[in-house]
Amino acid sequence: MKSDRQPPMTDGKQRLENMLEALKSRGYRITPQRLAILKILAQSRGHPSVESIHKEVKAVFPTTSLATIYKTLTLLKELGQVLELGFADWGSRYDGNRPYPHPHIICTKCGAIVDPESESMSVMTQEMSQASGFRITHHRLDFFGLCPQCQKEE
Amino acid sequence: MKSDRQPPMTDGKQRLENMLEALKSRGYRITPQRLAILKILAQSRGHPSVESIHKEVKAVFPTTSLATIYKTLTLLKELGQVLELGFADWGSRYDGNRPYPHPHIICTKCGAIVDPESESMSVMTQEMSQASGFRITHHRLDFFGLCPQCQKEE
DNA sequence: TTATCTCTGGATAATAATTATCCATAACAC
DNA sequence: GTGTTATGGATAATTATTATCCAGAGATAA
Ligand SMILES: [Mn+2]
Ligand SMILES: [Mn+2]
Ligand SMILES: [Zn+2]
Ligand SMILES: [Zn+2]
């Protein structure tokens, strides 16, 4: 009955507050450019790319450099406030709503990335650690395929 | 009872035959350089990098170019004979023994990559497909942490 | 408000893995 | 063996990301 919309852990507002606090509490300045980037990350549900963030920020501050986007993302990564999905073949994508490892489903045609609900990773991590002797710190799980929209257009 | 050694689907010999057949049957030539690369991929269990393959091949054919390694790996990927593990931050690693999606455990300190035994991915894939509406074609699952050796050296 | 001090943004160069290009030559079917 | 054509080697090009540099914005206190 209820939608297939995926509610984040917290709403965008709360996430923005968390990010701002993470910066402020460590003495980082809240500049207009940074604020704009944080807002985009906190509100977006589509795992934006560096380019798309840059485009959005430039709509408000036209002189914004690409380097500023990269710098801010690097900072947020260090503070654990954003999850980077790095890809070998194309640019990275970022999740500011769930800055911790979680599965993703990626459309290989249009590039859409969505967050499925899932829990079973923790048990699997446990098993892996047990069997291999590794002390596992994090993981990355991507599913690839065609989204419903792109299936129609086939 | 049985060892913790990880037996590949087939032994190196058989894998080499499969790869050679995949090339021959489609009209690709078996050059000394290609043969050397295939042997390395078929025998190695450590998910070699382009650089390490290059180094090994050059030991036999000193004039071998890095481009040749890349070309051969691209070809084998197209034929489904090697699995590429692409990383955003460092070079790719390759699995010639299990050229299909399977989990990996990666040491973030020394770069070791091992194949754990695991089955539970297929059920998880099923769930994901069901819940998201995606038609899932493949996946990628990496666990990151410290290998037993690097834990000791901490 | 003003002075001071440091952090940050913008411009641009540098980096590094991978891919593209070019052509002499090795592979292989005949 | 010969002829055709794919392949190897050298090298340039590509592209996402990082490093560098410095003017100026933001914080802070007088
Ligand atoms: Mn996500
Ligand atoms: Mn493997
Ligand atoms: Zn799509
Ligand atoms: Zn290690």
pLDDT tens per residue, range A18-49? 999 999 999 999 999 999 999 999 999 999 99
Q: Is the CB of A105 less than 8 angstroms away from the CB of B134?
A: yes
Residue A110 has pLDDT above 50, yes or no: yes
Residue A75 has pLDDT above 60, yes or no: yes
> Which stretches does DSSP call E strand in chain A?
83-85, 93-95, 104-107, 113-114, 135-146
Mean pLDDT of A64-87: 98
Retrieve residue B43's tokens: 């025998």
Range 88-127 of B in CB contact (< 8 A) with A: 88-89, 92, 103, 105, 107-108, 114, 116-118, 120, 124-125, 127
B99 Cβ partners below 8 Å, 6+ apart?
Answer: B80, B81, B82, B83
Tell me the fold of B12-153.
Arc Repressor Mutant, subunit A (1.10.10)
Residue A5 has pLDDT above 50, yes or no: no
CA distance A99 to A41: 11
Confidence of residue A118 (pLDDT cuts 50, 70, 90): confident
* Strand D-contacting residues in A 69-88, CB cut-off 7 angstroms: 70, 74, 86
Pure H helices in B2-154: 12-24, 32-43, 50-60, 66-78, 121-132, 148-152
Which pLDDT score, from 0 to 100, does residue B117 have? 84
CA of B122 vs chain A CAs: smallest distance (Å): 11
Return the nearest residue to D16, CA–C1'.
Answer: A91
CA distance B73 to B57: 13
CA of A66 to C1' of D15 (A): 14
A18 Cβ partners below 8 Å, 6+ apart?
Answer: A10, A81
Domain extents in chain A:
12-153
Q: What is the pLDDT along chain B (154 residues), one digit of tens a residue?
A: 333 444 545 677 899 999 999 999 999 999 999 999 999 999 999 999 999 999 999 999 999 999 999 999 999 999 999 999 999 999 999 999 999 999 999 999 999 999 998 878 888 999 999 999 999 999 999 999 999 999 999 8
- More reliable by pLDDT, A145 or B12: A145
